[in-house]
Chain A
Amino acid sequence: AQTVTQSQPEMSVQEAETVTLSCTYDTSESNYYLFWYKQPPSRQMILVIRQEAYKQQNATENRFSVNFQKAAKSFSLKISDSQLGDTAMYFCAFMGGNAGNMLTFGGGTRLMVKP
């Protein structure tokens, strides 16, 4: 079974600065997908960024980028130029390569962006 670990329960960052959220996972599969989801106080799950394991290039979405280290099974999220609206819970998630596989979530990191 796959496991996803987020070792930082809470983090804070000053507005406009950069913060990195950590995620490690364990799997025996070679083909899989990794995700970062944001859950603001509204509780709506919002996809932040997605990475296919077969791609060496790190995914980037505007201010959000990942550092994907496949050998180390590490998938960290970097948020640049942090904004107050980035305050939320962030969940790292794993999905195996089979079409029927589901998302396995990490425990989450609560990020607070301070003005």
Chain B
Amino acid sequence: GAVVSQHPSRVICKSGTSVKIECRSLDFQATTMFWYRQFPKQSLMLMATSNEGSKATYEQGVEKDKFLINHASLTLSTLTVTSAHPEDSSFYICSARVAGSGNTIYFGEGSWLTVV
């Protein structure tokens, strides 16, 4: 089946530094990718919708200058957490919509971010 690869799966960074998480569709083109954040024992919270070749659409309350999203190609979207703080520690998940499918979405494996 279709695969979405997310990297790194786990990352630890120091406060004040930036960290990049990649979301890659391996065997299909994804014009739209989504980034979610999941706190322990909670549901997935949509952070932003990433469209290839255009600016991401951020959900209310999500700081676009802190969570930079780039969708430079049909198979890759990146989330950069800038000037990370311990409260940014969380599980981040991406998903990708198969181009032209309308409702077929696949999820990455997720990335654990720990800011120390």
Name A residues whose Cβ lies closer than 8 Å to a Cβ of B.
Answer: 33, 37, 42-45, 50, 91, 95, 99-100, 102-108, 110
Contacts and interface: CB of A to CB of B under 8 A. Distances in A.
Nearest to A9: B41
Contact of A100 (B32, B44, B109, B110): B32
Contacts of A104: 46
B21 to A, nearest CB: 14
A44 B91 CA distance: 11
Contact of B34 (A37, A50, A102, A107): A102
Those 3 A-B pairs whose CB atoms lie nearest each other, nearest first = A45-B107, A43-B110, A33-B103
Given A43-B38, A44-B109, 7 more contacts: A43-B91, A45-B44, A45-B93, A45-B110, A105-B44, A106-B43, A108-B43
Interface residues of B, number: 18
Contacts of A43: 38, 91, 93, 109-110
A44 B102 CA distance: 22
Contacts, number: 40
B78 interface: no
Contacts of A44: 107, 109-110
Given A44-B110, A45-B107, A102 B44 contact: no
B25 interface: no
Contact of A95 (B42, B93, B103, B110): B103
Contacts of A103: 34, 46, 95, 105
A91 B41 CA distance: 12
B75 interface: no
A101 B61 CA distance: 19
B77 interface: no
A91 B32 CA distance: 21
Given A43-B91, A45-B93, A107 B42 contact: yes
